[in-house]
Structure 1
Amino acid sequence: MNRHPQGARLGEQVQAALLYEPALAMRGDSLPNRPLPKLSPGDGELLALLNFIFQYRRPPWLPPFLFLEQSFRAEGIPGNDLELMGLCQRAVGPGNFGVKPHPRNGDDLPQRLGLSRRVELRVPWELFLLNEGPDRCCLVTVCSNGALSGRLCLGLDGNTVLLYKLYTGKVLWKENHTLARFLEAYRRQFAGGNTYVPQTSYQAASILKFLGGQYGG
């Protein structure tokens, strides 16, 4: 909308913002924030409709650790996301790790580099969670919205490892103070007990090994 010639006129008609967690809003404008009810996996009618729209099929294979890829390559942003995938794969073992490709990248590069088997999951991550729940796999990502929306939109608390502290690319969260504050507020107030934000590569590998049961217990 921001790029459309009529975007400003449309913006003038907006009366409120509908948000799952209004307390996380950091726009800085005068629009009131209105709460949205969280989506419920128990809403069978809604789930059937969404499954029909997206032609949902249960993926034939998912690893215990699934990395949500982001569109950095599609946007021409150089960074170390592939290196972070390699770190994760080494920590948990190749057979336990896979990458959900981002549709805008369109190159299946992690698969071609041997970082992942083919993951047949092209629907929104939130729809997968509505169907399968949060415990099918541990989620790993740099800072994908999908990793946050399971908590914010659905109220779920599955194991999630956010690697944005380790990412070297000049993405928005590093350059935009507002988004940096958003991620920190999410981590402190909403993330739940099963979200991890490692500060170092060693810590990331240790967390993944712990979640994979390598340390016993």
Structure 2
Amino acid sequence: MILFRCDSVYQLMNAIQIKMTLLKDESADLLLSDHTNFDPLIPALQESGIFEEVKRLYSKKKADEYWTYTKEERKNISRHPQKYVDMTVFDKEYTEFYISFETAYAKLMYYAMVKKGMHPKVHLFEDGMATYVCDVNKRCMEDGMDHESYKEDKFIENIERLLLYNPALFTGEKMPFPIEKIPAIDYKNKEVKDIFHHIFGEAKLPKQKFIFLEEAFFDDKIPSNDLELVLRIAEIVGKDQMIIKLHPRNKVNRFKEYGFQTMEHTQVPWEITLMDEDITDKILFTVSSNASITSKLIFEKNMNVIMLYRMFTGKTWLMGNANFSLYHERSIKEFNKDRKNIYCPHSFDEMGEILKYIEGVEKIERRS
């Protein structure tokens, strides 16, 4: 029996895609944590029949608390995980455990299953940019757990594979397990689209031509110049032609006082909008958000993205990762093979030239 665990709507979308394609003949349960409010989605998920059972996991408090303990306390927790995690969710014999990112709590869940006599194989799956630049072995060495005490059941020794939409983009450290492809979501297939619409709903793109995808720098308390970048872009393209897609974690709308229009938070994932709409008549701006390239990544649909990380003055943990630049270099090379989809200017002058170029491409594509 398979158990999927999801913390976000994007993870849930990917779990559904994996289940409907790679595991369509397998029985699987779904575990939804309280890191996201999944309540509105649960009735439709249950009706869809994709998963045999949809369960809830209330783990956020314990997941956050784990990092407040000393290294020795964390080691003791890992030796007795059944005292820390919710054991009631393991009411079946699970042989496969699908998790999107190997968080500390997810690893404790794995060890709790081991303590209960299960020996599940772990499958890691797509969760945006972090999945492509991660070093699972290093993260295991830094989590404070006593992995060695589990011997042949050690977490990293039981990872079966990593599932990504585009394995060629992986720039993390060499893994002792294979990296395999998740099939692109078939947006032309009405049956597939109907399933995603039934679960997540539908949403339209805004009328504005230019969309800026905010990132969580403000919520993460990372000093940055993203607001200054937005103000300069507005001077170039016109504020009335621009809209801001706020990051879900940022509770403060920093752009409203400057007169910017913003996209409201909804339960419908950005990816569902991309599935339904042709985005080539829009131009997306972002510093480094992976949401800007998901059109190409998970649907293989063209887009126009201007990434501003070369003009960004802040420092995030991802940008500090040695594999960050390589990931973006590979993304540009991969997604610009047949058509220019991603641009990375060094200056506003270069950005102006890029905008002129995109305008010319749009005219050609409209005529063809």
Give the match for residue 262 of structure 2. Answer: 118
Residue deviations 1:1-26 (CA, integer Å, cap 9, x gap): 42226167464442011111111112
* Candidates 328, 331, 354, aligned match of 1:207: 354
CA–CA separation in structure 1 for the residues paired with 2:329 and 2:197: 33
Q: What is the alpha-carbon root mean square deviation over aligned residues?
A: 2.3
Specify the alignment match of 1:162 in structure 2: 307
How far apart, CA to CA, are the structure 1 residues paired with 2:240 and 2:359? 12
- CA shift for structure 1 position 120: 3.6
In the TM superposition, residue 121 of structure 1 has moved relative to its aligned partner by: 5.8
Hey, which of these two has a bigger chunk of strand by percent? 2
Q: Which amino acid aligns with 2:104?
A: R
Aligned-pair identity in percent equals 28
Contact 1:172–1:179, Cα closer than 8 Å, also in 2:
no
Are residue 45 (structure 1) and residue 191 (structure 2) matched?
Answer: yes
Find the aligned partners of 2:270 and 2:165 in 1 and give their Cα distance.
17
Separation in 1 of the partners of 2:110 and 2:352? 46
Among 246, 259, 270, the alignment partner of 1:101 is: 246
Structure 2: which 5+ residue stretches go unaligned?
1-101, 112-121, 123-154
> Which residue identity does 2:316 align to in structure 1?
V
Q: Does 1:75 align with 2:217?
A: no
Matched position secondary structure for 2:243: strand
Considering only CA atoms, is the larger Rg found in Structure 1 or Structure 2?
2
TM-aligned CA deviation for residue 181 of structure 1: 1.1
- Cα distance change on mapping 1:172 and 1:66 into 2, 3 Å: same
1:194 maps to what in 2?
Answer: 341
Aligned residues: 213
- Unaligned regions of 5+ residues in structure 1, if any? none
Aligned partners of 2:246 and 2:262 also within 8 Å:
no
Question: What is the aligned partner in structure 2 of residue 54 from structure 1?
Answer: 200
Could you tell me which residue of structure 1 aligns to residue 288 of structure 2? 143
1:87 is matched with which residue? 232
Matched with 1:128 is 273
Structure 1 residue 88: Cα displacement: 1.2
Higher relative contact order (CA 8 A, sep 6+): 1
Structure 2 contact 292–305 (Cα < 8 Å) conserved: yes
Q: Distance in 1 between matches of 2:335 and 2:287?
A: 18
Instruction: Tell me the amino acid that sits aligned with residue 37 of structure 1.
Output: P
Moved more, 129-138 or 16-25: 129-138
User: What TM-score, normalized by structure 1, do the two folds share?
Assistant: 0.87
